[in-house]
Amino acid sequence: MATDNPSHSPPRRPGRPTTSAFVPIVLVLVGVITLLGQYGIMPSINQIWTIGLAAAGVLTFLLNGYNKSSFVFGTFLILSSGMSILRTQELTDIAKEIPILFIALGTLMLISRSNAIPPPPPSDG
């Protein structure tokens, strides 16, 4: 028998905001920015995307420090930003960009196995 008793709901961690609205808000923002870009009010989504990739890569290192997972993820985002710049400048195309990014991701994953890169800190859970 189901009850609406809040005591049966899983406890929330104190000080941790709920992230359930994050994805919908991001989707709305991307849609608004894209639409404004179509009218010339905002920079094109390609420029915003490229800057966002680089910023996310840098933030990965700033927030998580330098470890095996941040090395792969952060570096991959920065490389993706660089490839996006090359594509928008018509120095490469998507047919070459995708395999290059696959090669880069695999290489980063192999490099991260080195003992020179520290493991991530243990999780709280």
Please list the rounded mean pLDDT of every run of 10 residues in the chain (125 residues): 54 58 80 81 78 91 92 95 92 95 96 93 76
User: In the prediction, which pLDDT does 72 show?
Assistant: 94
User: In the prediction, which pLDDT does 14 show?
Assistant: 56
| Domain contains 122 | no
User: In the prediction, which pLDDT does 46 show?
Assistant: 76
| Domain contains 73 | yes
| Domain contains 105 | yes
Dig out the tokens for 67 from the structure. Answer: 């470890």
| Domain contains 93 | yes
| Domain contains 59 | yes
Decide: pTM greater than 0.85.
no
- Residue 78 domain boundaries: 46-117
Rounded Cα–Cα distance for residues 36 and 4 (Å): 44
Q: How many domains does the chain have?
A: 1
User: Long-range contacts of range 6-11, CB-CB < 8 Å, 24 or more positions apart?
Assistant: none
| Domain contains 54 | yes
Rounded Cα–Cα distance for residues 110 and 105 (Å): 9
User: Long-range contacts of range 80-87, CB-CB < 8 Å, 24 or more positions apart?
Assistant: 80/53, 81/50, 81/51, 81/53, 81/54, 81/57, 84/46, 84/49, 84/50, 84/53, 85/50
| Domain contains 38 | no
Backbone φ/ψ region at 90: left (φ over 0), alpha (ψ -120 to 50), beta: left
User: In the prediction, which pLDDT does 125 show?
Assistant: 60
What length does the chain have? 125
Secondary structure of residue 16 in the 3-state scheme: coil
| Domain contains 102 | yes
